[in-house]
Structure 1
Amino acid sequence: MFPIEYFAGLILIGICAGFASGLLGVGGGFLIVPLQYFLLKYIGVQPDLAMLISLGTSLAIIIPTSLSGAYRHTRTMDNIVKPGIRLGIFGIIGGSIGGFVASGLPSRILEIIFGCLLLFIVIKNIIDINKERNEAKIPFNLLSTAIIGLIVGFSSGLLGVGGGVFLIAILTSLLGFSLIEAIGTSSVFICLTAIGGFLSYVVSGWSVSTFPYSIGYVSIINFALIACFSVPLASIGARYAHKIPQKKLKIIFSVLVLYIALKMLGILP
């Protein structure tokens, strides 16, 4: 039913997204969503359905992938678990709402939103490229935790990403976290927030999706193949994150995000 290159593409997505997830604390959704989307369109899936499958399946993959990376980070940083869980509790709520909203939007709108948000992150990283740590501009209390968790969680469910790309930018620019602390905290956060979005895509697509071997908008084949490779690679990526200087991490992160942003906006073919 599926061409051999489709399975090869899924394996490559798992390898790249898994390593990026552990290395950058982003869940890998910023790679999993667009690459799945392009691959599904390649085999003839309609764009709107391809986007929803990419979003829902991405969130399912992010759960075990980010858990693998989070475990590795917590072995060297024991101060990331508590803030990650506090943010993640509100992230689950936001993720559930975002997932239901996404099911009613055209795929092109989601592509543009995704691309613009990623461009913002690239610009912010370039501005702060030489900063090891910014001063905290707001206190890390219950109110800020709730607001940040809900907003990032909503974007997670809406865009099928763990929300790490947004959370890291917030933690480093507003709350005074170092990049490596933000990466570790983000990896804990996205384990939780992806659950809310994942469940919403299962429910909203339960009687709608016509893609073979899927539960709602979650493809079992895509999940199994990508997760099989992304989970072990996330642990390897997390190990390297503690060995690479922060400036180099920011450069790697920015280049990857810029490419995907331009691709989603249609600027690159």
Structure 2
Amino acid sequence: MFPIEYFIGLIIIGIFAGFASGLLGVGGGFLIVPLQYFLLQYIGVNSDLAILISFGTSLAIIIPTSISGAYRHSRSMDGIIKPGVQLGIFGIIGGFIGGFAASSLPYNILEIIFGCLLLFVAVNNILNINREREKSRISFNLINSGIIGLLVGFSSGLLGVGGGIFLIAILTSLLGFSMIEAIGTSSIFISLTAIGGFLSYMISGWGISTFPYSIGYVSIINFILIAAFSVPFASIGAKYAQKVPQKKLKIIFSMLVLYMALKMLGILP
């Protein structure tokens, strides 16, 4: 039913997304979503269904992938579990709501929203590339963490990403986290937030999705193949994150996000 290059593509996505997840603390969704979307279109899946399958399956994959990276980060860094869990609890609620919202929006609108948000994050990081640590502008308390968790969680569910690309920008620019602290905290946050979004895509696509071997908008084949490679590579990426200078991490993070933003907006072929 599926061409052999489809399975090869899924394996490649798993390797790259897993390594990026552990290295950058972003869950890998910013790679899993667009690459899955382009791959599904390649085999003839219509765009409306392709983008929802990409979102739902991405969130399912992010759960085990980010847990792998979070475990590695928590072993080498102190003080990241509490803020990560606190943000993540609110993120689960936001992700659940965002997932249902996505199923009611046209695919081209979702493409534009996803691309614009990625572009904003990339530009913000490029402008602050030389800053090792920002001064904290707001305090980290229950109210602020609740607002941030809900908003980032909503964007996570809406766009099928763990939310790490948005959370890292907030933690470093508003809360005074260093890049490596933000990456570690984010890896814990997204492992929780993705649960809410995953459940909403599974429920909203139940009896509607026509994609073979899927539960709602979650593809079982895509999940198994990508996760099989993303989970071990997330642990490898997290190990390297401790050794790479923060400036280089920011450059890698910014360039990858910028490329995907231009790709989703149709600026790059």
Q: TM-score, normalised by structure 1?
A: 1.00
1:25-75 CA distances to partner (integer Å, 9 max, x unpaired)? 000000000000000000000100000000000000000000000000001
Q: CA RMSD in A?
A: 0.4
Check if 1:234 corresponds to 2:234: yes
Counterpart position of 2:6? 6
**Distance (Å, rounded) in 1 between the aligned partners of 2:213 and 2:56:** 14
Alignment deviations for residues 182-208 of structure 1 (CA, whole Å, 9 cap, x no partner): 000000000000000000000000010
* Code of the aligned partner of 2:64: P
CA distance, structure 1, for counterparts of residue 144 and residue 135 of structure 2 = 16
Q: Deviations over 1:196-246 (max 9, x none)?
A: 000000000001000000000000000000000000000000000010000
Q: What is the distance in 2 between the residues matched to 1:30 and 1:123?
A: 15
For residue 127 of structure 1, report the CA deviation from its aligned partner: 1.2
Alignment of 1:83-94 (within 5 A): 83-94=83-94
1:220: which partner in 2? 220
Instruction: Report the AA paired with residue 210 of structure 2.
Output: T
Give 1:23's aligned amino acid.
L
- Please tell me whether residue 58 in structure 1 is matched to residue 58 in structure 2: yes
- In the other structure, the counterpart of 1:48 is 48
Separation in 2, partners of 1:5, 1:106: 28
Alpha-carbon distance between aligned partners in 2 of 1:30 and 1:56, rounded to the nearest angstrom: 13
The residue type equivalent to 2:166 in the other structure is F
Q: In structure 2, what is the Cα distance between the partners aligned to 1:191 and 1:154?
A: 14
Identity of aligned residues (%): 80
- Could you tell me how far apart the structure 1 residues matched to 2:78 and 2:68 are? 16
Quote the residue 1:98 is aligned against.
Answer: 98
Which residue does 2:203 correspond to in 1?
203
SS for the counterpart of 1:152 is helix
Q: Give the structure 2 partner of residue 117 of structure 1.
A: 117
SS of the residue corresponding to residue 79 of structure 1 reads coil
- CA displacement at 1:126 relative to structure 2: 1.1
Q: CA deviation at 1:261?
A: 0.3
1:145-179 deviations in Å (ceiling 9; x for gaps): 00000000000000000000000000000000000
1:81 alignment partner in structure 2: 81
Q: Secondary structure at the match of 2:76?
A: coil
| Aligned equivalent of 1:142 | 142
1:119-159 deviation per Cα after TM superposition (whole angstroms, max 9, x unaligned):
11111111111111001000000110000000000000000
Residues in 2 aligned to 1:122 and 1:27: alpha-carbon distance in whole angstroms: 16
Following superposition, the deviation at residue 91 of structure 1 comes to 0.1
Question: In 1, distance between residues paired with 2:16 and 2:195?
Answer: 22
Q: Distance in 2 between matches of 1:119 and 1:219?
A: 28
Q: Give the C-alpha shift of residue 94 in structure 1.
A: 0.2
Aligned partner of residue 243 in structure 1, secondary structure: coil
Letter in 2 for 1:51: I
Gaps of 5+ in 1: none
Q: Structure 1 counterpart of 2:172, which letter? A: T
- The SS at the match of 2:237 is helix
Aligned residues: 269
Show the counterpart of 1:67: 67
Alignment partner, residue 39 of structure 1: 39
Q: Report how far residue 266 of structure 1 moved.
A: 0.3
CA distance in 1, matches of 2:263, 2:9: 17
Q: Does 1:261 align with 2:261?
A: yes
> Which consecutive segments of 4 or more residues in structure 1 shift more than 3 A?
none
Amino acid across the alignment from 1:190: I
Q: Equivalents in 1 of 2:202, 2:78: separation in Å?
A: 34
Between the aligned partners of 2:108 and 2:33, the Cα distance in structure 1 is 13
Q: Structure 2: how far apart are the matches of 1:23 and 1:65?
A: 12
Kindly state the Cα deviation for residue 78 of structure 1 after the two structures are TM-superposed. Answer: 2.2
